[in-house]
Chain A
């Protein structure tokens, strides 16, 4: 299993440009998440999904959009990039059974995004 994969690893955007960060998992996990991590700060949840077709906002959703058309993929869309979106973005997934509350999350390697 590849686990959680993210592309690209690095990207530089100009203000106002758009891009999609790709995330895929091959563990048949039902939950998927997007976080951002700024230097010296904790991981902040942007969006999460509890299954295909269901997404929900996290703590910092403004400026981002997501979709979950399949179990495996959870892309994150930035529509109008701003310098405040310069960060490292992590995708994660977990298998959640409501009868067994564990929610161990498996993280991808991250995408380092710079907006100039």
Chain B
């Protein structure tokens, strides 16, 4: 069966350290993968997108890798800050019935990151 799993429900780290979150999937062939941030009581906010032919993507303190052989994406936050505390969701894009790969995001359950000062 198809599954998408994020490594842990919660991750606690010290300020200044690098947070690494994992997203694994089985029985999907995603065209690309996205990471979102969700704060309590709010909707998810898009952070980064990485395509299947890209190994790594960076945006400021964020870095995402995508290994289609391992069926895994890693999401890194360097020099973490308490303001980075939130739940981070990975999402796979799978093909929809209209022929494109838009419209069908499959979300993981999320990892709740807590950065302690």
> Interface on A for B, CB 8 Å cutoff?
4, 31, 33, 35, 40-45, 48, 50, 56, 58, 90, 92, 94, 96, 98, 101-110
Contact = CB atoms under 8 A, between A and B. Distances in A.
A90 B4 CA distance: 20
Nearest to A102: B49
Given A31-B103, A43-B44, A103-B105, 17 more contacts: A40-B109, A41-B109, A42-B4, A43-B107, A48-B96, A48-B103, A48-B104, A58-B104, A96-B100, A102-B49, A103-B102, A104-B34, A105-B46, A107-B43, A107-B44, A107-B45, A108-B43
Interface in B1-55: 4, 9, 31-32, 34, 41-46, 49
A40 B9 contact: yes
Nearest to B93: A103
Interface of B: 4, 9, 31-32, 34, 41-46, 49, 89, 93, 96-98, 100-110
Contacts, number: 72
